[in-house]
Amino acid sequence: MAIRAIALDIDGTLTNDQKVITPRTKKALMDAQEAGIKLILSSGRPVHGLRALAHELELDRHNGLLVAFNGAQVRDASTGEVLYDQAISADLAREVLVHMKKFDVIPMLVDGDRLYIEDAYNCTIYSGGEPKNIIKYERDACNLRLHEVRDLAEWCTVPQNKILTAGTGEYLQKNYQEMAAPFSDRLSCMFTAEWYFEFTDRGIDKGRALSFALPRCGIDPSEMAAFGDGQNDRAMIELAGVGVAMGNAIDELKSVADMVCGTNNEDGIAGALEELLA
C-alpha cells in the first residue's frame, strides 16, 4: 500500500520528553514530504499551539494539515482555510464550566493565542507526588498569552472547540465519571494526559476529523499512516491504513495498532517510516 499521508500526535509521539523533534525524526519527516507525502499534525493542542512545530517542519510549503482540539477543527497549514469545525455551543460550554466548580480542577479555555483562566495563582497540581504549575505548562507548550477573567462561565459567550480541565491524576481518576456524567450523551469526554480531562462536542475525535478532511485532499484514509500514544489517538489509529502505537503508548492503543514502534525518546517515528517507506 502506498502511503500518501502521515498523521502525528505531538506530545509523547512527535516530540521527545524535552518537547523537541529530534534530528533523525525531523529528517525522516522532511524526506517524506519531499517525496510528496502529506504531513498532518494531530493534537489536543489549539491551532496556535501547533504553529511552531508546523513551521519547523515546513508544513506551509508542503500543504500539510493541522488537526487541533482533538479533532474539533482542521486547518490547511498553507492557507489557514478551515476544512472542518465542530464546536460546543456557548450554552452547553457554560453548563460544563458551572458544573466544574464542584470539583478540585483548573478549567482553561483558548481563544486564538490566548489562554483564559480564572486565577493564575491557582496553578498547582501534583504528578508523581511532585508539584506542577499546570497553567505555565499549558501556556509554554502552546506559546499562549495568559489572561485572567473573574468567571469563565460568565465570560464564555461564544462556542468553544474544547474545554480543558486539569487536576492531580489520582483525583481525576476518582472523579472523572461524576465530572462527565451530565454530559455523557451530549459531549465527548476523555483523558488526554494523566492530569488533563477534556470536553469536546459529541462525536469529536481525531479519526472523525480526518475522515472528513482527507477526502477533500484527494486522499483515502486507507492511504494514511498514523502515530500516537494516548487514548485520544485511538480513533485515528483505527482509521488509518497503518496505525502505529509508540513504544511508550498506553496498552489500549497498542492492542488496536497495526504495529508498535520505538518510544518518542528512541526516534520511534523515524524507525517505523524507514520500514514503511522502504
Q: Do 209 and 197 have their domain in common?
A: no
Note the pLDDT tens digit of each residue in 154-171.
Answer: 999 999 999 999 999 999
- pTM for the structure as a whole: 0.90
Residue-by-residue DSSP string for 107-172:
EEEEETTEEEES-TT--EEEETTEEEEHHHHHHHHHT-EEEE-S-HHHH--S-BS-EEEE--HHHH
Is 124 in contact with 134 (CB distance < 8 Å)? Answer: yes
Q: Do 176 and 94 have their domain in common?
A: yes
- Confidence (pLDDT) at 1: 66
When divided into structural domains, the chain yields a total of: 2
Pick the last residue of a domain from 171, 201, 231: 201
Statement: residue 222 has pLDDT above 70: yes
Q: Do 102 and 177 have their domain in common?
A: yes
SS3 (DSSP) at 258: coil
Q: Do 229 and 195 have their domain in common?
A: no
Q: Do 78 and 210 have their domain in common?
A: yes
CATH number at residue 140: 3.30.1240.10
User: Domain of 115?
Assistant: 90-201
Closest to 44 (Cα-Cα) out of 90, 104, 108 = 108
CATH number at residue 51: 3.40.50.1000
- Confidence (pLDDT) at 211: 95
SS3 (DSSP) at 229: coil
Mean pLDDT of the chain: 95
Statement: residue 116 has pLDDT above 90: yes
Q: Do 154 and 171 have their domain in common?
A: yes
Pick the last residue of a domain from 186, 201, 216: 201
- Confidence (pLDDT) at 231: 87
